[in-house]
Amino acid sequence: MGCATCNHVYTRYYWTVKGWEEVFKKSHSSQLAGESGSIDTKRITWTPVVDKALTTLGGYRSMMKSSRLSTWVDVGCGDGALVKTATDYGFNAIGLDARLDAVTHIQGQGFKAKKAIL
């Protein structure tokens, strides 16, 4: 859909199959559903990121004082490696991805994921 006055193209809720192909054509294979590569290697890669976030939030003691767990949201979660790592650390982690196959894959492994609506 486009604006006749300024020629702005509105894409919200109007993605075509070709549009999705364009958005994801340069996706790295490790960002796709299914695990390409070792999940252990990916968790080792994400560990410093989650560790830094936990330290910034005041550590486990601070996190556990809360009546509910801290939530970690990974937008564009791909294969879910970061969601899994954050869950390992005790976060209430959830992945968001525009690709249903990625969401289904993560959910199938017992982790939380939702399809993002663009």
* Domains of the chain by residue range: 27-115
Stretch 48-68: mean pLDDT, rounded? 80
- Which stretches of the chain are assigned E, i.e. beta strand? 71-75, 92-97, 112-115
Q: pLDDT-derived band of residue 67, with 50, 70 and 90 as boundaries?
A: low
Mean pLDDT score of the chain, rounded to an integer? 81
May I ask the CATH architecture of the domain 27-115? 3-Layer(aba) Sandwich (3.40)
Whole-angstrom CA distances from 93 to 40, 65, 103 are 18, 18, 13
More confident residue, 6 or 107: 107
pLDDT score, position 118: 63
pLDDT score, position 49: 93
